[in-house]
């Protein structure tokens, strides 16, 4: 997959799978990663405490999950959190739109893909990424809670990534809220199955809240404010880095 156009080049993929590339190719790949991280840090430095909302790109405005995500995000934004998403359409758009409904701050970390993904129109700022793993690092870095709306492989990947980081104490015990009991019924069954087979511990079930209630979700996130004493810091841009107020 090309990082500029999003077109698929099977020969490049095959070459990558052949094994180690030349030292020069590995070096330039490392530089590209470094540049992308710096780009993300610059774009998101003044984001402030954020709540990241994960969800499918495939649910449009007519779907009930869209309105639910929009309303939930509006309530979270009222707490003073920036709403951060993957920046694309569907439930990501709904979350960013909910923030804008209440004059909250709305940020997107968009991934360059050949289909489905394009920045939605409800973003105060967005940054494009070529690599999923860099995008995930930055979504976690600036987040103080994670909301999991109905979604597919990508949403579940992001959910388990956050829960693994909390479980292994790589990040603090931030709230993880799984929204949609019916949609996630089999998933919760499987998590309980893992508990029965002792591949997770009983306390791991405390890593997340599953609910259908916006009120319960907001109360759970409020605990984060009380626990960590979050405040919105006034940005102090550095002129020699060409930073601007509100970047």
Give the pLDDT of residue 185. 97
Give the residue-averaged pLDDT of 173-188: 96
pLDDT in tens, 26-55: 899 899 999 999 999 988 888 888 999 999
Confidence of residue 241 (pLDDT cuts 50, 70, 90): low
Least confident of 6-15, 64-73, 206-215: 6-15
Which pTM was predicted?
0.83
Structure-token pair, residue 77: 């934004």
3-state helix, strand, coil in the chain (%, to 5): 45, 15, 40
| pLDDT computed for residue 243 by the predictor | 59
Assess whether pLDDT exceeds 70 at residue 115.
Answer: no
Residue 244 has pLDDT above 70, yes or no: no
Q: Which residues contact 50 (CB under 8 A, 6 or more apart)?
A: 81, 82, 83, 84, 107, 142, 143, 144
Residue 66 in contact with residue 98, Cβ under 8 Å? no
Does the pLDDT value for residue 222 go beyond 60?
Answer: yes
Q: Quickly state the pLDDT bin for 155 (edges 50, 70, 90).
A: very high
Domains and CATH numbers, the chain: 35-232 (3.40.50.450)
Residue 234: CA count within 13 A, CB half-sphere: 0
Q: Give the model's pLDDT for residue 3.
A: 39
């Amino acid at each position: 997959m090309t990082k500029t156009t999003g077109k698929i080049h099977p020969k490049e993929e095959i070459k990558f799978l052949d094994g180690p590339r030349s030292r020069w190719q590995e070096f330039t790949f490392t530089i590209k990663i470094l540049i992308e991280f710096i780009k993300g840090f610059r774009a998101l430095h003044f984001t402030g405490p954020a709540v990241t909302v994960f969800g499918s790109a495939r649910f449009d405005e007519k779907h009930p999950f869209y309105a639910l995500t929009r309303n939930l995000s509006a309530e979270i934004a009222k707490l003073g959190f920036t709403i951060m998403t993957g920046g694309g359409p569907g439930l990501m758009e709904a979350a960013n739109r909910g923030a804008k409904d209440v004059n909250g701050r709305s940020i997107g970390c968009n991934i360059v893909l050949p289909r489905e993904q394009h920045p939605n129109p409800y973003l105060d700022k967005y940054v494009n990424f070529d690599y999923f793993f860099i995008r995930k690092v930055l979504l976690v870095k600036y987040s103080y809670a994670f909301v999991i709306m109905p979604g597919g492989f990508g949403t579940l990947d992001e959910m388990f990534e956050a829960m693994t980081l909390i479980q292994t104490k790589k990040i603090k015990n931030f709230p993880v809220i799984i929204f949609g009991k019916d949609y996630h019924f089999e998933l919760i069954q499987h998590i309980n199955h893992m508990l029965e087979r002792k591949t997770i511990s009983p306390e791991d079930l405390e890593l997340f809240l599953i609910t259908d209630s916006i009120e319960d979700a907001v109360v759970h996130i409020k605990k984060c404010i009380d626990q960590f004493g979050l405040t919105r810091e006034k940005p102090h841009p550095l002129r020699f880095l060409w930073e601007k107020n509100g970047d």
